[in-house]
Amino acid sequence: MEDLAITAAGLFGGLIFLSVVDVILAVLARRKVIKFWIAILMNTVLGLLAILGISVAWAVGMVPFIAVAISSIILTWPARRKK
């Protein structure tokens, strides 16, 4: 039983880690530090993991789902106009 709890905690911790990495990559792509497609690819992979997590349990999939929503907004927000 303890092994199952450790596995579930590791899965949830891994999803939280990937969610943070996704948002950081979106910010870096927005600042043009990395290529845009890298952030889009990570966003897509995390979105698929969020779908998988939500199909298992809402609590598992909500963290990556929220991170995908935040990073999608960051990536698609219009650029500032130069004066």
- Listed by start position, the domains of the chain span 2-76
Averaged pLDDT for residues 50-65: 91
- Total Cβ atoms within 10 A of residue 26: 27
Q: Kindly indicate the confidence band of residue 15, based on its pLDDT and cuts at 50, 70 and 90.
A: very high
Q: Is pTM beyond 0.75 here?
A: yes
Quick one: which H or E segment has residue 40?
helix 36-56
pLDDT at 42: 96
* CA 56-57-58 angle, 5° bins: 135
**Quick check: 68 and 46 in contact, CB under 8 A?**
yes
User: Residue 32 class from Cβ within 10 Å (0-12 exposed, 13-18 middle, 19+ buried)?
Assistant: exposed
pLDDT tens digits along 21-40: 999 999 999 999 999 999 99
- Total Cβ atoms within 10 A of residue 69: 13
**Quick check: 18 and 50 in contact, CB under 8 A?**
no
